[in-house]
Amino acid sequence: MNLSYTLIIQTTLFERRLALLQNRTPLEFRIDPDYPVSGPYARSSRLLYRPTSLHLVRILELSPHNTTARVELFDKIQGRLLLGKKSTSAHQGQLILAQVVREGESITEGGGIKGPVLSADIVQIEEDLGANNTFNAILSSCLLEEKNPKCLWQGYSFLQRYLWGYRDNLKSIVVDSAPLAEELSSLVERQELPPHIDIFHPTRHKSSLFESYDLETSWEALESPFIPLTQGGSLILEKTHAGWIYDLNMPLSHHSALISNTHAGVRVIKDIRLKNLSGLIVGDFFSLSSQKNKERLLAKLREEAQKDPLPPHIHAISSLGLLEITRAKRDLSVLEELWALPTPILENPAATDKKLLRALEHRIRAHPDQSAFELIFPVTQSPEFLETLAILESTYQVQITKAP
């Protein structure tokens, strides 16, 4: 057992941030998609469709080979169902038991609807839930009586799933919330987390845990498209409708093409894990004419990828230097959570409001002796924006005024 990780959990009005550290170096940043559960920016509507949740869904349309189906969930939400062993017996209009395996995937029919992806593989569902008899309890409660789509079980929380994945390698969890510290301690007492994990709730620290662990700079850099390289030059990360692109900007005179590509490729692999990127990922690197050099680069990147618990698959390098990578989806990336929608932040006014308010809360926490703050208001103030200002004033006992 290698107890090498420390998990930092910082809670604000807008989000719960997680940072997984190894020797104080951040390996992963995450945002808890289940938090907050109340307030103007609550995520409670997503709780019904999070991974591991169980649903009765109605089949709306089958694919040509009956391998997948477009389905209706509770509250008219649509999703995509992977039929598995149920493919031969499935038919339109049927109610079927399914489990959410991931969220946020596009569906081409119906105007590009985005909804959860579910599995109808009952064997896998039983394996996932059989340990605590949840599966049998759900089936016996209402499966036979229901006539419409329904959420049967909200599933495990993101925090439970995340902690379970690292349970053998976590040596400590540090939180800034007393209720969360109590909740985690109860998980240890109920043996849902191993007893070797220490739970810390420091009563005295800086304005935030992230500052105490020198994480604020790394966190703020997440939304920047520019990723500096220690050997010089930088990577530029761009989100497209098809996936993610890393563009290498480095004078070739500094190093050989192989050395430059290796430095950049290793940084890309680490950045993918840091931000939890998934889907198609392309690295636009220097072209390599030698097949031997391509193989050396691929071998190094595949070795680095194995350090990720959800390792990306390194495919090939084209003659033009395009590195092709894919990674399975497990929750939204930290960038998509920050943006609130999988679109650039400048195109999303709600996310821009949240960014302003997050920055304001950070300023308030950084200056505990200051009682008045000024803010440049957006041109249009939404009800959620104004309500959150009032919550900030009440929570921190400060006065917030519009900057001239």
**Domain holding 176: CATH number?**
3.30.420
Last residue of a domain, one of 192, 215, 238: 215
Residue 29 resides in a domain: yes
Give the per-residue pLDDT at 347: 47
Residue 336 resides in a domain: no
Residue 241 resides in a domain: yes
Please check whether residues 98 and 236 belong to one and the same domain.
no
Please check whether residues 242 and 264 belong to one and the same domain.
yes
Give the per-residue pLDDT at 134: 58
Q: How is residue 261 written in tokens?
A: 């590509």
Please check whether residues 11 and 145 belong to one and the same domain.
no
Residue 381 resides in a domain: yes
Residue 32 resides in a domain: yes
Please check whether residues 94 and 22 belong to one and the same domain.
no
Degrees to nearest 5, angle at CA 187 with 182 and 189? 90
Residue 228 resides in a domain: yes
Entry field: residues in the chain: 404
The pLDDT profile of the chain, 404 residues, written as one tens digit per residue, is 466 899 999 988 888 999 999 988 999 999 998 888 777 777 665 667 888 888 889 999 998 888 899 999 988 888 999 987 767 778 899 888 888 888 765 444 444 446 788 988 765 555 555 555 555 665 655 555 677 888 888 888 889 889 988 988 999 999 998 899 999 999 888 888 889 999 999 876 556 889 889 998 999 899 889 999 988 889 999 988 889 999 999 876 667 888 999 999 999 999 999 999 999 999 999 988 888 999 999 999 999 999 999 999 999 888 777 999 999 888 889 988 876 543 443 445 566 677 788 888 888 887 888 899 988 877 677 888 888 888 889 888 999 888 76
Please check whether residues 121 and 263 belong to one and the same domain.
no
Last residue of a domain, one of 153, 182, 200: 153
What b/e readout covers 150-180, taking b as 16+ CB neighbours within 10 angstroms?
Answer: bbbbebbbbbbebbeebeeebeebbbbbeeb
- The mean of the pLDDT values for the chain is 83
Please check whether residues 33 and 120 belong to one and the same domain.
no
Instruction: Domain count for the chain, please give it.
Output: 4
Give the per-residue pLDDT at 303: 96
Give the per-residue pLDDT at 185: 92
**Boundaries of domain holding 385:** 348-402
Q: What percent of the chain has pLDDT over 90?
A: 33
Q: Is 36 exposed, middle or buried (0-12, 13-18, 19+ CB in 10 A)?
A: middle
Give the per-residue pLDDT at 136: 60
Please check whether residues 57 and 34 belong to one and the same domain.
no
Please check whether residues 236 and 309 belong to one and the same domain.
yes
**Domain holding 302: CATH number?**
3.40.630
Please check whether residues 300 and 359 belong to one and the same domain.
no
Please check whether residues 105 and 234 belong to one and the same domain.
no
Residue 334 resides in a domain: no
**Domain holding 149: CATH number?**
2.40.50.140
Give the per-residue pLDDT at 237: 95
Q: Which helix (H) or strand (E) holds 100?
A: strand 95-107
Residue 135 resides in a domain: yes
- How many angstroms separate the first and last alpha carbons of the chain? 58
Chain position carrying tokens 């050997």? 231
Please check whether residues 59 and 147 belong to one and the same domain.
yes
Please check whether residues 301 and 362 belong to one and the same domain.
no
